[in-house]
Amino acid sequence: MTRRAQSFDDRLRPIASRLYGYARALAADAEAAADLYQDTLLRAIASPAIPDGERPFRAWLFTIMRNRWIDRLRMQSRQPEVDPLEDHCAVETFMPASLETVIVNQLAVRQAFAMLGPHHRDVLTLVDVGGFSYDEAAEMLGVPRGTIMSRVSRARQVLCRILSEENVTMHPSAGRSAER
């Protein structure tokens, strides 16, 4: 491994799980998330200039991932959608009620999240899933901090409304403070 690649790997290691979590939040499934993650890392390592410092490096990687995701969405919108065969071949299995409830709630949250507009999805993915501060998210999206704060607030309200219409009980942390 070259010195540059080793340095990149050393800097990536502390944030790799958060970066993959961001990919999972953006992508439709685990396979698409893994592809997005790998594509992001390939694009980053091929870059002629890698930012110095932990915070700029992290913001740079998340921005690359977001841009690669947007590129993929654009490509997908140009291609006709095909129904996957596995949707027609589902197998029913027995699950205890509590586990079944957890899975149903997770699916409801994913569906509700997908119903959000792109601005709301972006800020919630960065702030709530990625763990970025309002300032960091504002820098990545190129908008003022106040815009991020209002989008996060509105996005959480819309998400709660969608989930309440689906009769999904919200976790107590849903009303987090806006101290970020």
**What would you report as the CA-atom Rg of the chain, rounded to the nearest whole angstrom?**
18
Write out the residue range of the structural domain in which residue 119 sits: 92-180
Per the prediction, the chain carries an average pLDDT of 78
Q: 68, 84, 100 — which closes off a domain? A: 84
| CATH number, domain containing residue 145 | 1.10.10.10
Whether the full predicted model's pTM is greater than 0.75, yes or no, is no
Q: What is the CATH number of the domain that holds 61?
A: 1.10.1740
One domain, residues 100 and 39: no
pLDDT tens per residue across span 150-164? 999 999 999 888 888
Predicted pLDDT at 87: 45
- Last residue in a domain, options 27, 61, 84: 84
Residues 59 and 111 in one domain: no
Q: Taking residues 102-109, report their average pLDDT.
A: 69
CA dihedral (163, 169, 173, 177) positive or negative: positive
User: Can you spell out the DSSP letters for 67-96?
Assistant: HHHHHHHHHHHHS-----GGGGS-------
**Tokens 């690669």 label which residue?**
68
Mean pLDDT in residue range 126-140:
86
What confidence category does residue 141 fall into, taking pLDDT thresholds of 50, 70 and 90? confident
State the Cα–Cα distance between residues 105 and 169, nearest whole angstrom. 8
Asked whether residue 77 carries a pLDDT value surpassing 80, the answer given is no
